[in-house]
Amino acid sequence: MDWYDESEIKDDFQRAESILGSGIFEPGNAGHPLFKSAFIELLICLRDLMYKAAEYATPIDFTDDVTIQGKVKDVSSLIKYVRDALCHVDSNNHYIDAGMKASFNVQFGRGRMKVGALEQVNPYPDDTCFFFGTQRIYLKRHVLRAFDEARNGLSPLIHR
């Protein structure tokens, strides 16, 4: 691993920890003007960590609560899918079907939302769910777990 990758990993860890520790994803902050921006930056950092974990340590490839379809095969590809939806407005990752979009719908705790014929469901009272097209990503079950697994795999490889 070169110095640049190591520096990027350290920066990803620091930024993700800072964002996650800020409280921005609490339900009372849903209307905060930086709520979506924080999620975008978090997913950018997380995507980079998924790539670097696969490159230098162990791929983060769990499938628990991941909707396997299309290019989404595991949590790392789900993170890429969501990052692409967030960062590329013209991405098809927002679409439910031709002409119908559903992007960045958020459900705090258990609940359901209806978008056309699609029902977006979060069955977990203890987790926040973000929906993008037909995909969903959970804050605790996907984002935090993937971050922890990447940190466990990559931390021993970087110099402090």
Q: Is the pLDDT of residue 148 over 70?
A: yes
- The gap from C-alpha 111 to its chain's centroid, in whole angstroms, comes to 19
CA pair distance 31, 79, nearest whole angstrom:
23
Most distant pair of Cα atoms in the chain: their distance: 51
What percentage of the chain exceeds 90 in pLDDT? 76
Q: What is the mean pLDDT of the chain?
A: 91
115: which residues sit within 8 A by CB, 6+ positions away?
96, 100, 102, 105
Amino acid at 5: D
Query: What's the pLDDT score for residue 95?
Result: 65
Pairing of strands 100-101, 118-122: unpaired
Cβ atoms 9, 51 nearer than 8 A: no
Instruction: Give the tens place of pLDDT for each residue, 66-97.
Output: 999 999 999 999 999 999 988 877 666 666 66
Terminal alpha carbon distance of the chain: 14
Amino acid at 33: P
Amino acid at 135: Q
Burial-class residue 81 by CB neighbours within 10 Å (0-12, 13-18, 19+): buried
Q: What is the pTM of this model?
A: 0.91
Pairing of strands 111-115, 118-122: antiparallel
Query: What's the pLDDT score for residue 67?
Result: 95
Instruction: Give the tens place of pLDDT for each residue, 80-139.
Output: 999 998 887 766 666 666 666 667 889 999 998 887 777 889 999 999 999 988 899 999
Element (H, E) at 90: none
| Mean pLDDT, residues 44-51 taken together | 98
Query: What's the pLDDT score for residue 160?
Result: 67
Distances 51 to 48, 56, 72, 128 between C-alpha atoms, Å: 5, 9, 15, 24
